[in-house]
């Protein structure tokens, strides 16, 4: 599946994306905000593509004109989510490489995936969360119409071997349809 608009497109990850993924994900400003450590090599980035980004809901975000990798987005189903509570719910997660911050790419990519989730997959609710201090992710979620649901004060972050405050938001299909 490929989703697109005039500026970007989403497509499944490919092994050939490993060098570009490494260039973005090695930055210590990226992963820790999302709950994972910076990548340490192209080999590690390839392993992540093969073992974590190899599911149906994970996509590379690429620029429409240059095909340059901008970031990653995923919509996890109930089986792979810590928040979705039924088969009609999903959990959205995303990150954008630092060189592309402030250009609206996260919101655009999320809009494409949310629209597909509500209109094609017929999901009823999408959950999304951010860790305390990640104001950029909070702002993107608010712009998309997500509403505050609850906070988890000491949420485990296994990949960082830490606990952090996690703020959870939700977007219902009816609210999304009102925005469209």
Domain boundaries of the chain, sorted by first residue: 3-126
Taking the model in full, what pTM does it have? 0.94
What's the rounded Cα separation, in Å, for the pair 18 and 127?
A: 28
Over 70: is that where the pLDDT of 67 sits? yes
Over 90: is that where the pLDDT of 54 sits? no
User: What dotted CATH number matches 3-126?
Assistant: 3.40.630.30
Q: Is residue 180 very low, low, confident or very high in pLDDT (cuts 50, 70, 90)?
A: low
For the chain, give the mean pLDDT: 94
* Residue 41, CA atoms < 13 Å, CB-side half-sphere: 3
Cα angle, residue 57 at apex, residues 126 and 80 outer, rounded to 5°: 70
């Amino acid at each position: 599946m490929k989703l697109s608009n005039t500026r970007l497109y989403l497509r499944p990850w490919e092994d050939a994306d490993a060098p570009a993924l490494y260039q973005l994900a090695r930055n210590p400003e990226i992963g820790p905000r999302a709950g994972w450590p910076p990548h340490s090599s192209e080999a590690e980035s390839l392993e992540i593509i093969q073992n974590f980004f190899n599911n149906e809901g994970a996509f590379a975000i690429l620029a429409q004109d240059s095909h340059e990798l901008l970031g990653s987005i995923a919509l996890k189903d109930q089986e792979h989510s810590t928040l979705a509570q039924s088969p009609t719910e999903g959990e959205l997660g995303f990150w954008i490489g630092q060189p592309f911050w402030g250009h609206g790419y996260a919101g655009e990519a999320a809009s494409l995936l949310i629209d597909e989730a509500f209109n094609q997959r017929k999901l009823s609710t999408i959950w999304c969360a951010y860790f305390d201090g990640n104001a950029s992710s909070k702002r993107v979620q608010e712009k998309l119409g997500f509403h505050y649901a609850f906070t988890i004060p000491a949420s485990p972050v296994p990949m960082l071997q830490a606990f952090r405050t996690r703020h959870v938001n939700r977007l219902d299909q009816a609210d999304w349809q009102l925005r469209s």
